[in-house]
Copies of this chain bind each other. A is one copy, B any other.
Amino acid sequence: MKNYYSSDFKLGILGGGQLGRMLLAETQKYDIHTVILDSNKNAPCAEICNTFVLGDLLDFNAVYNFGKTVDLLTIEIENVNLDALDKLEEEGLKIFPKPRDLRIIQNKARQKNFYLDHQIPTAAFSHYAYLEELKHSYQNNIIDFPFVWKAARFGYDGNGVKIVRNIEDLEALPNVECITEKLIPFKNELAVIVARNASGEIKTYPVVEMEFHPEANQVEYVICPARIEKQIAEKARELALKVVRDLDFIGLLAVEMFQTAADEILVNEVAPRPHNSGHYSIEASYTNQFEQHLRSILDLPLGNTASKVAGIMVNLVGEAGFSGDVVYENIAEILKIDGVTPHLYGKKETRPFRKMGHVTIVDANIDIARAVAQKVKETIRVISK
């Protein structure tokens, strides 16, 4: 067993955003030396990791050279240069999650094909290399409105996903590789985070329930545990486990799912890292998702995924109409309420719908937590000077 703690062991992290920042709270607890690559010198992690390296995550040389300086490599964003990771892995570097899995996940068409190949239930889809192909398909009545359009790559926080309802929506789409899906009428959006280490130990977090903002297509509340029937939760959990096992995944995998009107569970998409749907775990769980990610990639025993209390997360996104130096309005107001913890991501500039932070609300009683979450949402505003 490698001596990771207070030693010369170096953990490389590709990406220095808010997920990296929350991971650093855990590497600090374990005193693990961190080296981070990001192209933004003001990235949320820049000043608080041990060593910060400026470089483009999609550039082969930047990622390869960075990888040569560390003992183990992980990611906090999946849009990284995979050719560099393949070469580093060939040369013996441990990389978790594995580049092979990142390659499947990074491209939504490949991800969907993986589900098909493994009989993992998911919404039916079509794959188009260019926008023209998609238009052609529409003109030939192969698909019809409304449908869900997803860019095959580089989507984040609801970017790269659109509901296409008419010809204007179709014309406005960018000319990129994409998939389309039937619009699924669902009862609930659920998520399950699964952790697995190299020794094969595997643990699931409780099923959470997500409420989306109707306009921004971003998660507004994440509620743990999901207020669903036990057998539905168990079905979602089993499905998430199947995805992880089929991928032979190592690390933390967030599996987003739909519960349909007929109580089918369909996999929507996965994220190979700590995820917005697991932020509640910092305050609510025995082992939070960031510590669990660390345990899984270092092949340490996995921690208890149970909750101490109910947890609800509210995303803090930039208010429409405000851009520039951020001001968080009414933080003192929300701090007056029991069980409320803000997490601000260290971004100096706000933009409409930019993820700037989140607030966790915990309480032994989930209904109280839900009421407080509503209050928090109505009170705090992310504006600019």
Contacts and interface: CB of A to CB of B under 8 A. Distances in A.
A354 B306 CA distance: 34
A58 B332 CA distance: 35
A73 B70 CA distance: 37
Oligomer: number of copies: 2
Mostly, the A contact residues are loop
B339 A28 contact: no
A141 interface: no
B291 A338 contact: no
A335 B301 contact: yes
A198 interface: no
Given A308-B309, A348-B6, A291 B341 contact: yes
B30 A21 contact: no
A300 B344 contact: no
A9 to B, nearest CB: 12
Contacts of A196: none
Interface string A52-96: 000000000000000000000000000000000000000000000
Given A300-B335, A301-B335, A328-B6, A344 B31 contact: yes
A327 B5 CA distance: 8
A345 interface: yes
A295 interface: yes
Nearest to A201: B336
Interface of A: 1, 3, 5-7, 21, 24-25, 28-31, 47-50, 286-287, 291, 295, 300-301, 303-304, 308-309, 325-328, 331-332, 335-336, 338-348, 357, 362, 364
27 contacts: A3-B327, A3-B328, A5-B344, A6-B347, A6-B348, A24-B48, A25-B25, A28-B48, A28-B346, A29-B341, A29-B343, A29-B344, A30-B342, A30-B344, A31-B345, A31-B357, A48-B49, A48-B50, A295-B335, A300-B332, A301-B332, A303-B340, A303-B341, A308-B308, A308-B309, A308-B362, A308-B364
